[in-house]
Structures are given as C-alpha cells and as structure tokens.
Amino acid sequence: MKRTLILIIALLPLLAKATVKITSIKKVADGLYLMYYDTTKEKHIITKSTIVEFKNFIVLIEMPISNDGAGTVHLTDHSEDGEIVLQKLKEQFPNKPLKYVLSTHWHPHSISSVLPFISKGITFVTTKNNYERISEYIDSASYQKYHQYIRYVDADGVIVKDKTNEITAYLLNKKDYPNIPTKDFVFYYLPRYKCMHSSCMYQRLGGYQIGGKEMISSRVEDLYNLTHTKNVQPASYITTDTYWDEPNGLILNDTIQKMYATGVTMSSLANDILQLDIQTIALKSDSILKAIMTKGLPSSILNSAVYTCLGKKDLDKALALARLQALANPSNPNSWDTFGEVYYIIGDMQLAKKYDIHTHRIDKTFGGGETVWKEDLETFTKSWAENNIK
C-alpha cells in the first residue's frame, strides 16, 4: 500500500522555487470562482482552486501547485508559489482579504504552501491526521509564532458562515470510506450553490469497461456513498484536476447518477472475487487467472479484495488473493508490496522482506514497505479488537 511516514526534516521550506503560472480566475456564479493554474511542468495538466466570496473576505479551497501525492518523501513549502497566489487574489479581490485556506488532505496536489498564509494571519484548515505530514512545511520557530492560525476539522459542521455565504465540512475516515487517499479527508459543501468540493475524489477510468459496462472507480463509490450517508444531494462537484470538467468547470451530479445506472462498481467486482473460497482458489487458480486476464480485471480490484480479507482477519484467503494478484500483475510493484505486507501481518518476516526488495527492484521510488506495514498492522489490530475478531 503506497503511503510513507517520515521524520520532519530540518530544512527551511522558504527555498522552493516558483513554478506556477495562474492563467485565469473564472466566475461560476455570484460569489463562486475557479482559479486555474498552468501546472503542465509539474502535473502535465491544468489544475484549479476554488474561491468562495463572503461579504468582507474570501476563502480559498485547495492549492494544487505540485504533482506530488501519496509517495511524497520530503514535503517542502512552495512558498514563492504561495506568494504568487496571494498576489493574484489581492489583484482580483482588492477590497476583500483572504481569510481562510481550506485543505482536503495532505498530498501536495491538494495543498502546496502554508507558511506565506499563516505568517500573514490567514487561517489554515485541515485535520490533525493530515497535519502530521503538512507540519513538514513549517519549522518549529514558525509553528510557535503562527500556530494559532492552524485550525482542525474534527467533525462535520459549518466552517465559515456569514449572511451572504456558507461552507460546511464533511469529515471522512478510512473505516467508513476505505478509498479516500489519506487517513481522513474533508469535503467542503457550498449549500448556496448545491456544490461539493471533492478535490481528487472524482475519477473516471478512461472508458475502462468490464463486460461492456463502464467500471466506476472506488473513489467515486465513496463520493456517491457520502451523499447518501450524510443526506446531502449536490447538484454538482468541483475537482482540483480538469480532466473531466463539464461546463463551468464543474461535474454534474447527473453524470454520476448515469454512471451508476449503466456501469459496474469496483466494489461489486471485488465482491465477486471475495465469493471465492480458498479451496476453489487453490484448485482452480489457472482458470481464475485466465478469467482475470481475459476480462482485463484491474490489479486494484484484487488489491482491494486482499485488504478486505485482512480487515476481517481472514489471513489465509488474503494470502491466496495476494498470490493471485502477483501472478496476474507481476510487473506492478504494488502487487509485491501487498504480497509482502500479508506475509508481514502473518509474521513471516523473511518472505516479507524478500518481497519488499523485489518491489523496489521494480520501482526504486515506490513507498510502502515495513514502515507502512507496521502502521497498517496497528490499524488492523485495533479494528480486530473493536470488532471482537479473534
């Protein structure tokens, strides 16, 4: 599983070189704007932030300057880029200062700069879990000086509100929404526009089809489930990427509804795999592999099934499915990292380390490994105890 935990580095983050170019700020509706970045050098795409206007100030949601994601090792504040963002907002909204910067999760493609904002008294909003990584942007002296401008989301609720506008936070966790990319994740809902800022949680799989039906990504499943669990029905969504933008830079809820009406979810495909018992997997592994390869079942489906079994402490089945995943996708480093993690959780350190070595032969930059496995095992152990799984 790709996630990396490192110690805070003792480097001043003000040395990051500016790379961003803000191309435009487009009005979507009264009080709602999208700010576009030319990040092609970093991300090879155009990205965007959301700006929400209140009576006396503005709020910025996300700052997707960098391409770095879950595998990021050293987080460095893109301070010069942050200053460019501040200057652009000042030019566009000369009479309304920026009061808040809201982040959904710690990945730099969500939030790339913090210091230029908190040092000017602008409140930065994240979660405690995400701040564990975001704190790498901020040296200890700066934290002591500006920590009062760091605010945590710890439950659903209104973040910012006045007579003209409102932003509500919805806090997601891995237990209830297993496909979010970090321990927890915040969606920001704009009730005035019936619009949900979902960051990188809306993804289409490039027309990928299973049995003639579009495969719906696991992240979209979490997005869809959130609207029902939280009893909120957005008319549209905003993403930080622009791959799938519809008119006005939004994604219409009708699009997701049509996907569900005609497509097939990744979880349903994973459930088909989970219906297999260990004896069937052992006796018919060749025919199962043939079906997987013929249908073009993505590696992520098998990977998801493995972690579902680990969550239930069905370790033998997790191992059998991890073996299938490695056989079906031998060039994918995550296949071997998952295989190694199952052995780690079982307690076979020799094989776990062998597969970790093999993982990094394929991709030296891949995260995962024993540090992440240890953290996952702690999470699983806690869950097994809470659910009385022996």
All structural domains of the chain: 13-262 (3.60.15.10), 266-386 (1.25.40.10)
Name every residue whose Cβ is closer than 8 Å to that of residue 331 and which is 6 or more positions away in sequence: 362
The per-residue pLDDT for 212 is: 82
- Euclidean distance between CA atoms 240 and 57, whole angstroms: 22
Name every residue whose Cβ is closer than 8 Å to that of residue 189 and which is 6 or more positions away in sequence: 167, 168, 169, 170, 195, 196, 197, 232, 234
- Euclidean distance between CA atoms 234 and 64, whole angstroms: 23
- Euclidean distance between CA atoms 130 and 184, whole angstroms: 7
The tens digit of pLDDT for each residue in 183-211 reads 999 999 999 999 999 999 998 886 678 87
- Euclidean distance between CA atoms 10 and 17, whole angstroms: 18
The per-residue pLDDT for 209 is: 80
The per-residue pLDDT for 6 is: 28
The answer to whether the beta carbons of residues 115 and 13 sit under 8 Å apart is yes
Phi first, then psi: give them for residue 78, nearest 5 degrees.
-80, 70
The per-residue pLDDT for 17 is: 53
Strand partners, 176: none
Alpha helices in the chain (DSSP H): 79-92, 115-118, 128-134, 140-146, 218-229, 253-262, 266-274, 278-283, 285-295, 299-311, 315-328, 333-346, 349-362, 370-386
Predicted confidence pLDDT, tens digits, the chain (390 residues): 443 322 222 233 333 455 678 899 999 999 999 999 987 766 678 899 999 999 999 999 999 887 666 566 578 889 999 999 999 999 999 999 999 999 999 998 889 899 999 999 999 999 999 999 999 999 999 999 999 999 999 999 999 999 999 999 999 998 899 889 999 999 999 999 999 999 999 988 866 788 788 889 889 999 999 999 999 999 999 999 898 999 899 999 999 999 999 998 988 888 889 999 999 998 999 999 998 888 878 888 899 899 999 999 999 999 999 999 999 999 999 999 999 999 999 999 999 999 999 999 999 989 889 999 999 999 999 999 999 998
- Euclidean distance between CA atoms 153 and 353, whole angstroms: 38
The answer to whether the beta carbons of residues 274 and 293 sit under 8 Å apart is no
DSSP state for residue 217 in the 8-state scheme: P
The tens digit of pLDDT for each residue in 349-378 reads 999 999 999 999 999 989 889 999 999 999
98: three-class secondary structure by DSSP: strand
Strand 184-190: give its sheet, edge to edge: 157-161, 166-173, 184-190, 195-199, 236-239, 251-252
The per-residue pLDDT for 13 is: 36
Phi first, then psi: give them for residue 237, nearest 5 degrees.
-130, 155
The answer to whether the beta carbons of residues 65 and 75 sit under 8 Å apart is no
The per-residue pLDDT for 70 is: 58
Among 149, 212, 217, 137, CA closest to 178: 217
Q: Decide: residue 83, CB within 10 A, 0-12 exposed, 13-18 middle, 19+ buried.
A: middle
44: three-class secondary structure by DSSP: coil
